[in-house]
Structure 1
Amino acid sequence: MTANPEIDSILQRAADGGRITPEEALLIYTEAPFHALAEAADTVRRRRYPDGIVTYLIDRNINYTNVCVTACKFCAFFRAPKHREGWAHPREEILHRCGEAVDLGATQVMLQGGHHPDFGVEYYEELFSSVKQAYPQLAIHSIGPSEILHMAKVSGVSIEDAVVRIKAAGLDSIAGAGAEMLPERPRKAIAPLKESGARWLEVMAVAHRHGLSSTATMMMGTGETHAERIEHIRMIREVQDLAVANGYRDDAVETGHEVGGFRAFIPWTYQPENNHLKGRTQATTMEYLRFLAMSRLFFDNVAHLQASWLTTGKDVGQLSLHLGVDDLGSIMLEENVISSAGARHRSNLHELIWMIRTADRTPAQRDTLYRHLAVHHTPADDPTDERVVSHFSSIAMPGGGAGRAQLPLVDAK
């Protein structure tokens, strides 16, 4: 209970599973007492996941090229076409990295790159089919609506044709990449050459209709207002309402699983190094934590909420587990994009499990669709592979470097 009856009513309704409006979301985001907001969000988590399980994933983010024509102002990774620092990895190198990931227990790869002017649908068909042929056990959770729009334009085909073809080639799930900020004003300010937020969501809706589920993301801290942050999640919830109303299901699982449309929402914070925005605006830790809790209350139709320890730090990641979060993302064996902009947080598998367990939660390794692969009820159930560390081959981190014969261990401290 708080001193404000209106806020009390909103928090109670949301905690009980009722829907709140964008206006109510803005009110509790900006004015609800922090502990009351956190308690309401955690009530939703306990109702959805009474077993107390918090999940994690082992995956690798493999960038096939850094050449990009979009030139987003917040990106430190891309290089313009014909830039002397531009590159595109050969297929053999990508498959080599997939093999390393499998050896370390990864169940997923995220293949992502810039909007290369020469890469159409045919390139992605060959890439995905090559990975699937070599490593059928790896789920390909990759690219985003921006890449789909770009490849369709390069090849001169419709969005629907592009989605159908890359799914047939082996794409299992679409990443929430490229969302950043969906409302028009902040999106044009940070990515004027990118598609609109409405167009981004249109591609997601097409993918959902064709049996590909996805994740949704948001980048905080580039100068957007509180109201624009709420508008971002309103737009996502509206598209998810469509997926729920039409009974969309992911083709990778049996009918009846609640995995259609957006599986999870993942907000993260803008990183200020080596890009044109130069950190003039950033989201505070408290803004991030409050937004996580409010998002758990707002998204009555999205199953999972993931915290970004990569951009906010492991202490914030652990604290988020008391604000409605049920997933800590992955031990990313490689990550170059956000790291290039200054994200320096690293971890290892044992530390991530420790973070979950000491928050009084039960750790579990999951797959791309949030199915539990191993539940670590006690420390005796924990994995023992000491090699599973984040960023072992990141080109954006000190000591990193792709394609090494020996995988350097990283001190999680």
Structure 2
Amino acid sequence: MISKNYFKSLGLAEILEKVTASERLSIDDGRKLFECPDITAVGALASMVRHRLHSDKTYYVLNRHINYTNICVNGCKFCAYARERGEEGAFIFTKEQILEKLRSAPVKPRETHIVGGCHPDLPLSFFEETLTAISEEFPEAPIKAFTAVEIAHFAKLEGISTLEVLKRLQKCGLVMMPGGGAEIFAEETRNKICPKKISAAEWLKVHSEAHSLGITTNCTMLFGHIESIDERLDHLDRLRKQQDASKGFTCFIPLPFLTENSKLEIEDPLTGLDELRTIAISRLMLDNIPHIKAYWVMLTVKQAQVALQFGADDFDGTVVEEKIGHMAGVNSEQALTRKELEEMIRGCGFTPVERDPRFNLIS
């Protein structure tokens, strides 16, 4: 247990008081935490919040990831997943192939997770038919699908509003959205790494519309590329302001940038300690978002386990097949079993708790 005097010696006495009193931290507080020389003190503060919210529970889900295509019109500079139509390695799944992936999952999924590239030709009707078929055949696996970027792309192709797209997909079984496509909100940096993607304001607007319909969503931040610490803090602040307004974010997922297969040149690649510090500060800054995910696919399993001691409370799930991170060069496993998930969580001193996409507990 770190003493109050030690926090005081680090210049964190006021932050400790705020954390203890469940008060919101300022951007300046966040900057002090990034500058703190002792990462274990930052982790201790985040662990206080994590235990206050979730005691010793760590959540997981039996999910099946489906990346339906890597053909994408956005051409983001950092992305190693996207391909152009006709390019070697490009793929697209049919409705039947998607259904077969769910049928062949090693365990019966309790979450269907669907994201993909922004394909230039796939009509909204394809996704309506696919979601309807999934809902009918797998009613016990609620659908979490499509980033705000995909929703905006569907709207552009159809010549309708993003709100109308959301309403149509909701009728077909969409209950939740993942948080991808947020990347970093700072406009100048965002324009450098993903100039064709929707703006930060548009991303937040789509999530606000989803929340208004009762579609809960996750949110993310891609960090460790060319963004500054202040831009990370600005991103977190914009997310919590949106949560104040629309109250529909369920979980935040900090995504470390993977350099191996990216065209984006990075002078100082992320370290493991920077990953853990950012996860901890995310827990401390996002006081109104209940869950922080240790996404083992991007962090690797061992780093995700450590992240549970730095504020994270969710270990994601079985996944089965993930293409986006692995095409970017991550060397984590492709799938975990329920037994492996539970043993890893228990091995870190936590109690595993199975959940559904919306964090409803499954006995």
Shorter-chain TM-score above 0.5: yes
Give the SS at the match of 2:185.
coil
Alignment of 1:172-211 (within 5 A): 172-211=175-214
Give the SS at the match of 2:101.
helix
Q: Separation in 2 of the partners of 1:136 and 1:348?
A: 23
Give the SS at the match of 2:113.
strand
- Residue pair 2:81, 2:323 contacting (<8 A) in 1 also: yes
Greater CA drift, 169-178 or 6-15: 6-15
Alignment of 1:12-411 (within 5 A): 12-31=17-36, 33-50=38-55, 52-101=56-105, 104-244=107-247, 261-277=248-264, 280-346=267-333, 348-349=336-337, 350-374=339-363
- Residue pair 1:58, 1:333 contacting (<8 A) in 2 also: no
Q: Give the fraction of aligned pairs with identical amino acids, expressed as a percent.
A: 31
Give the SS at the match of 1:332.
coil
Counterpart residue type for residue 348 of structure 1: L
Q: Separation in 1 of the partners of 2:294 and 2:341?
A: 12
Give the SS at the match of 1:133.
helix
Q: Separation in 2 of the partners of 1:168 and 1:366?
A: 23
- Residue pair 1:214, 1:262 contacting (<8 A) in 2 also: yes
Distance 1:339 1:279, change over 3 A: farther
- Residue pair 1:7, 1:32 contacting (<8 A) in 2 also: no
Give the SS at the match of 1:338.
helix
Counterpart residue type for residue 221 of structure 2: M
Counterpart residue type for residue 225 of structure 1: S
Deviations 1:189-228 (A, max 9, x none): 1111111111111110010011100001111111111111
Counterpart residue type for residue 320 of structure 2: L
Deviations 1:27-59 (A, max 9, x none): 112226322221211111121123x11111121
Give the SS at the match of 2:221.
strand
Deviations 1:85-105 (A, max 9, x none): 43321111111001122x512
Q: CA deviation at 1:240?
A: 0.2
Structure 1: 5+ residue stretches without partners: 245-260, 375-413
Deviations 1:367-386 (A, max 9, x none): 11112214xxxxxxxxxxxx
Corresponding residue for 1:405?
none
Deviations 1:239-270 (A, max 9, x none): 000024xxxxxxxxxxxxxxxx1001110211
Corresponding residue for 1:10?
15
Give the SS at the match of 2:47.
helix
- Residue pair 2:320, 2:336 contacting (<8 A) in 1 also: no
- Residue pair 1:217, 1:265 contacting (<8 A) in 2 also: yes
Structure 2: 5+ residue stretches without partners: none
Deviations 1:348-388 (A, max 9, x none): 323322221121111122111112214xxxxxxxxxxxxxx
Deviations 1:313-341 (A, max 9, x none): 22221111112211111121010111001
Counterpart residue type for residue 358 of structure 2: L
- Residue pair 2:262, 2:328 contacting (<8 A) in 1 also: yes
Aligned length: 356
Distance 1:83 1:313, change over 3 A: closer
Q: Separation in 2 of the partners of 1:92 and 1:137?
A: 19
Give TM-score scaled by structure 1 length. 0.82
Deviations 1:49-82 (A, max 9, x none): 23x1111112121122111100111211111134
Greater CA drift, 118-127 or 183-192: 118-127
Structure 1 runs (4+) deviating above 3 angstroms are 3-6, 278-281
Q: Separation in 2 of the partners of 1:129 and 1:33?
A: 51
Q: Separation in 2 of the partners of 1:291 and 1:189?
A: 22
Q: Separation in 2 of the partners of 1:20 and 1:148?
A: 32
Counterpart residue type for residue 162 of structure 1: V
Give the structure with the higher percent helix: 2
- Residue pair 1:60, 1:333 contacting (<8 A) in 2 also: yes
- Residue pair 1:59, 1:108 contacting (<8 A) in 2 also: yes
Give TM-score scaled by structure 2 length. 0.93
